[in-house]
Amino acid sequence: MDQALDITITVNGVPVARRIPARQHLIDFLREDLGLTGSHVGCEHGVCGACTVRVDGIIVRGCLTLAVQADGRRVDTIEGLSDSGELAPLQEAFHRRNAAQCGYCTPGMLIAAQDLVANHPRTTREQIREHLSGNYCRCTGYQAIVDAIEEVLDAQRKNHKTP
Ligand code: FES
Ligand code: FES
């Protein structure tokens, strides 16, 4: 039988304490134990990016991260990042550019894109594509997604008057 461990994780700003199986993945803990089903499960092998969440500000694969590895850390999911407004410019640009169709990839795509917007404001179009290479989309052909992210980066550069 799997060993159970006590953990406390701050999820979207709220401390959550649970006893969980030692081998439970973070994405399953978020979805099944906490009901945060905005993050999706695709390949379960770290390939598709559907399960992307943030741990202490760093984007990770929820399907490759054990929930116990997040003990004592801060986890942000699509729900928290949407509610805080952090993703609003990207969400609006995705909407304007029709960058989501079935939407299955979109939560992970938005979190990966926000990582660029927040940490790499001078990213080129080619670098956007490279950064998103770990997030698969079966619907859009990526063009509209890259357009939307580029639009947000351009707007950010104009607002901050950086080249
Ligand atoms: S479900 Fe985690 S990378 Fe595909
Ligand atoms: S919008 Fe359907 S997988 Fe990306």
- Going by CA atoms, what residue is nearest to atom 2 of ligand 2? 102
Backbone torsion region of residue 44, taken as left when φ is above 0, otherwise alpha when ψ lies between -120 and 50, otherwise beta: left
**Dist. CA 50–CA 79, nearest whole Å:** 14
pLDDT band at 1 (very low <50, low <70, confident <90, very high): low
pLDDT band at 11 (very low <50, low <70, confident <90, very high): very high
Q: Tell how far the Cα of 62 is from the centroid of ligand 1, in angstroms.
A: 7
Position 163 scores a pLDDT of: 55
| Mean pLDDT confidence for 100-128 | 96
| Mean pLDDT confidence for 80-101 | 97
Decide: 41 in ligand 1 pocket, CB within 6 A.
yes
Q: ∠ at Cα 60 (59, 63), nearest 5°? A: 150
Question: What dihedral do alpha carbons 131, 123, 106, 160 form, nearest 10°?
Answer: 150
Atom number, ligand 1, closest to the C-alpha of residue 62: 2
